[in-house]
A and B are shown apart, each in its own frame.
Chain A
Amino acid sequence: MLLYLTAEDVFGSDTPRGRGPRPLHTIPATLAGLYDLGLRHHLRSAAMAWWTPQGLERVPDWRFDRLAIRFAVFGRERLGLTPGERILVLGRLGWLWPTLDFAAMGFGVLPIGVEHDLGDDAVAGIAGETAARAAFATDPGSAERLLGLRRAGRLGRATVVGEGFVEGDGVLALREVVERAAVLDTAERAQAFRAFSRQVTPEGEALWHVGAHGVVRLTHAAAMARVAPMLRSRPAARGDVAYLDAPRVTLGKRLALAAFVGDGHTTSALGGEGHPAEELAELRPHKALVSEAWLEAVCSGDGGPRRPAWLDRWRARRRLQQALGGRLRWVEAQVGVSPAGARALAGAGVAVEEVAGRGEEEPWRC
């Protein structure tokens, strides 16, 4: 189900004059090209932001770009990855997801995203079937799981990279990788990476995504077919903030991250777990990709309209506006929204567009 909140109609827009939504003039044919475009021509202060115990941490575009280049170069020169090979990414939503997607796609390596709630047998099976050369964990829990699988000999030849490891045979600590990769970040290697990413073809495989629903394989052309409509019909404005709730990483979120980094305007804010109201108050997102549970929590939490039907229209609108940060333009719910949630939004005077039967493989619709 897709919910579309017409924030301009309901809340008004606080987008500065002259800085309204601006669609990309040309939409690249590949995800690698989209990332490259967004990072070369960006007009934002931070590509990513995420919640830490100290508050919101912002990652400027230059740091995101350099990290992606460094991972790519490290993969090529230290892990010996060549175009066509595969890497596995397992874990909760975090900065490593888009970084690795960009790094891998830019060098023609296929990133296989595995949702963190998949069982060990499934993860081992995917690693074995795909003959992944490296397995990256995006959070400490997933790192432990991969390490366990590696020790049990169930990851094939994949080198495991994750936080908190002591380096050993076939195991690399993420911090070490970042540091060693940094030294390889020279002008010549960076330009080679950029040049390569521009040569990726639309027919080439872009990414795989593995979840409870099975495996989704997308070529660059197929991935762009899902991303491009959103870029065209819902263009980003300068200063936009997109919110993605944790912990689950869906295909939709991976593609959305590609779109947000690629549009050159949007800061993608990755939510933490357990404090949605706090996050919304600080982030005040313009758009969100969230789960039903998250939406329900926000709409029915303290200060939210429990029974908006008995409230007058203005108060309901105000409460929802406050609950959502006041700037939300649209929400894509990753799964169906309950009738109560939908009623809450409708009660606040928000136009709700429902798209029934939309699955992971359908084009993005707004």
Chain B
Amino acid sequence: MEMLRQVGELAWDLFQSVNGRVADGPAVHPKWAPGPLPKSYERTRPPLGYPRETDSLCPRCVIETRRKILSGERELSDLVSGRTGEVKATFYQKGRELWVTKTCPQHGTCEDLRSIDIEFDRVIERRFPGRDFRTLGDALVHRHGSSSVRYGRGAVLTVDLTNRCNMMCNPCFMDANQVGYVHELTLDEVKKILDDSISFKPRRQMVVQFSGGEPTMSPHFLEACAYARRVGYKLVQAATNGLRFALEPEFAFQAKEAGLDMVYLQFDGTSNESNAHRHISNLFDVRSVAIDNLAAAGVRITPVVTIVNGVNDRQVGPIFDFCLAHHDKVGGPAFQPVSFTGRDEEVSDEARLRQRYTTSHLAHELARYYDGKIDPYRDWFPLGVSTAFSAVADHVQGPEPEFGQLSCGCHPNCGAATLMVANSRTGQWATLSSFFDLDRWLRDLDTIVDSARGRALTLTQLGLSFLRNFDQRKAPAGLTPLGILGMLNAKIGGTVRGAGNTPRSDWRTTTILSMWFQDLWNYDFRRTEMCVIPYGTQEGEISFCAYNTGVGWRNIIEQMRQVATTKEWYQSRGRHQIYAGNRPIALPNALKRKLPVAAAH
């Protein structure tokens, strides 16, 4: 096997020695793109490195302005064109840590922690391959002044179906059940949002994620899933607390039939105690039932963990253990370091600094928990590396497709992930980069895309690059080059072997994902303008952070478009159950989904 790697190395060098002497081919101009596919050196990058200055917001000014707009003292247009509350922020090194500081002429200076290990952030930024296209023809969708999304298509369109919820969590992005009004989309509005979202370029494949509130509380949840599936969204997801799927097993099957592919399941730990801050005493048991029901229905599950320092920060290792042990039901976890927004926006400075958790915390905690098996500097990559993967797939697929490959090209400070392989039979697992040189592979992908050869030569280069970067000596026992090729094939849209042609194997890929949403203390407009998780709203698409934090478009749009006050809603449409008060939830038995039939005649 070592010989194979050396042959691959030699053949790659040989190939490139010729390839480098031939002029690069012209870039493909697909129908879905606003221009020819960019070469790696043509991709733009936001300012990176430390120290650096960026455009940010004063936490106090923003809250005051929002309040004035909501009370009618100021116009909404001030928010779009007035650059309200904007200040300069500086990211700077303090010891080994990375901090952000900003000074508002009115409210003074505020500081916050961005990373406990600046070197980790430098590594992540160094691996960022560059931005996607600038958007074209999106004037009606992106019209939110300095908060507008300007690059790429996004990867996940989030649509809040309702702000009602059947829980009373703390933290909560949106202060569900407490704002005093109900904001709920009609089915026609949902359809319009979904249609508008695929109306401009670049027109890439997208995932739609229905969120809330609790999206399953919306009367249109199933219909919305069915419509999204019908108009061609790649994957239909729901960000849910799982209560409905636990309380009504039939609902999981119905959602699957309607088109739901995956749930982002709120998940805070592997015991009832670690979920206690959600105010349901048997919440972990409830989640377990939801997982059983969803898995039985064939809905994939990504546990989503909001991590708060001092609350559940020690749960990250056990949660990943849980995911590995229940690999047949759940995928890798998506960790979300706490973002102080919604009902947490009034947090004190002392509490904020005490509870602040960053991606670097997560990387180091996992390194500690697994004795260095997950290396913070070797194994973590920005989510934006997906741009490099999709660039190859787009190049191979040529100019004809109506939609480009899904690309999660967000800012390197937004999210990072470690790609892993795990054996579902033996329980072995390893990070991919521990035996496969991902850094060099990403560089090879750039070389392949830049030279823009035909399909056969592109695939040849991919094969050679794969061979030279795969180190069998370091790979877990039993993992063959073909096995890993099959898994990587799925990651680059089936470019090598065709989509759906991944052979059955005990080995599978899994990820640990960290998506750190901004809050007012670390806000960076360079991140919002290349957001990959836009919110689809009645007022166009808005970056996740601009919507939930930033200037707080959520508050404004939901209040403007409210359908009733909460009191009126309860009177005219009836109440829904809210689970809180540290009481347990009574659970039904899981549904055995098998038609009771006699043997076939």
Contact = CB atoms under 8 A, between A and B. Distances in A.
Interface of A: 18, 20-26, 37, 39-43, 45, 60-63, 65-66, 77, 179-180, 182-188, 190-191, 194, 235, 264
Q: Which of A21, A22, A66, A186 gathers the greatest number of chain B CB atoms within 10 Å?
A: A186
A356 to B, nearest CB: 29
Given A22-B600, A39-B250, A184-B574, 12 more contacts: A23-B601, A24-B597, A25-B597, A25-B598, A43-B595, A61-B257, A62-B222, A63-B223, A66-B222, A180-B573, A182-B220, A187-B244
A63 B576 CA distance: 21
Contact of B596 (A41, A45, A185): A41
Contacts of B222: 62-63, 66
B219 interface: yes
Closest 6 CB pairs of A and B: A182-B219, A62-B254, A187-B247, A187-B248, A25-B596, A41-B595
Interface stretch (B100-108, B360-368, B586-594): B586-594
B449 interface: no
A183 B219 contact: yes
A281 B170 CA distance: 58
B242 to A, nearest CB: 11
24 contacts: A22-B600, A23-B597, A23-B601, A24-B595, A24-B598, A25-B596, A40-B591, A41-B594, A41-B596, A60-B258, A61-B257, A62-B253, A62-B254, A62-B257, A63-B223, A65-B250, A65-B254, A180-B573, A186-B244, A186-B576, A187-B216, A187-B247, A194-B250, A264-B595
B506 to A, nearest CB: 28
Contacts of A194: 250
Contact of B219 (A20, A61, A185): A185
Nearest to A36: B250
Q: Which of A40, A183, A264 gathers the greatest number of chain B CB atoms within 10 Å?
A: A183
B577 A62 contact: no
Contacts of B220: 182
Nearest to B222: A62
A45 B577 CA distance: 31
A179 B187 CA distance: 10
Contacts of A39: 250
Interface string B216-256: 11011011001000000000000000011001101101110
A25 B219 CA distance: 34
A179 B595 contact: no
Contacts of A37: 596
Chain B, interface residues (CB within 8 Å), range: 20 to 34
A356 B113 CA distance: 88
Contact of B251 (A20, A45, A60, A190): A190
Nearest to A62: B254
A77 B217 CA distance: 18
Given A20-B601, A24-B596, A60 B257 contact: yes
Contacts of B216: 187
A183 B217 CA distance: 8
A206 B600 CA distance: 31
A20 B600 contact: yes
A191 B258 contact: no
Given A61-B257, A182-B219, A187 B598 contact: no
Interface of B: 166, 216-217, 219-220, 222-223, 226, 243-244, 247-248, 250-251, 253-255, 257-258, 573-574, 576-577, 588, 591, 593-598, 600-601
A186 B217 contact: yes
Given A40-B250, A41-B596, A191-B248, A21 B577 contact: no
A230 to B, nearest CB: 15
Nearest to A66: B222
Nearest to B595: A41
A191 B249 CA distance: 9
A144 to B, nearest CB: 27
A23 to B, nearest CB: 6
Contacts of A264: 595
Q: Which of B250, B251, B596, B601 gathers the greatest number of chain A CB atoms within 10 Å?
A: B250
A41 B258 CA distance: 15
Q: Which of A20, A22, A77 gathers the greatest number of chain B CB atoms within 10 Å?
A: A22
B257 A184 contact: no
A61 B220 CA distance: 16
A22 B597 contact: yes
Contacts of A26: 596
B219 A191 contact: no
Contacts of A24: 595-598
Contacts of A20: 600-601
A184 B573 contact: yes
A179 B247 contact: no
Nearest to A70: B219
A62 B226 CA distance: 11
A187 B600 contact: no
A170 to B, nearest CB: 18
A23 B597 CA distance: 6
A22 B258 CA distance: 25
A183 B573 contact: yes
A39 B596 CA distance: 12
A188 B244 CA distance: 9
Contact of A187 (B219, B226, B251, B258): B251
A267 B351 CA distance: 59
A172 to B, nearest CB: 14
Nearest to B255: A62
A25 B597 CA distance: 4
Contacts of A183: 219, 573-574
Contacts of A65: 250, 254
A71 to B, nearest CB: 13
A62 to B, nearest CB: 4
Given A62-B222, A62-B258, A187 B595 contact: no
A62 B577 CA distance: 22
Contact of A186 (B255, B577, B594): B577
Nearest to B576: A186
A47 to B, nearest CB: 11
A43 to B, nearest CB: 6
Nearest to B251: A187
Nearest to B594: A41
A187 B219 CA distance: 11
Given A25-B596, A43-B595, A179 B250 contact: no
Q: Which of B219, B220, B257, B258 gathers the greatest number of chain A CB atoms within 10 Å?
A: B219
Contacts of B253: 62
Contacts of B244: 186-187
Nearest to A78: B574
A246 B257 CA distance: 29
Nearest to B250: A40
B600 A18 contact: yes
Contacts of B254: 61-62, 65-66
Contacts of A190: 248, 250-251
Nearest to B162: A183
A45 B166 CA distance: 30
Contacts of B223: 63
Contacts of A187: 216, 243-244, 247-248, 251
Nearest to A77: B574
Contacts of A40: 250, 591
A40 B257 CA distance: 12
Contacts of B576: 186
A222 B149 CA distance: 65
Contact of B247 (A23, A61, A191): A191
Contacts of B166: 186
A61 B226 CA distance: 13
B138 to A, nearest CB: 32
A191 B596 contact: no
Contacts of A45: 257
A12 to B, nearest CB: 18
Nearest to B217: A186
A275 B231 CA distance: 31
A154 B408 CA distance: 65
Contacts of A41: 593-596
A181 to B, nearest CB: 8
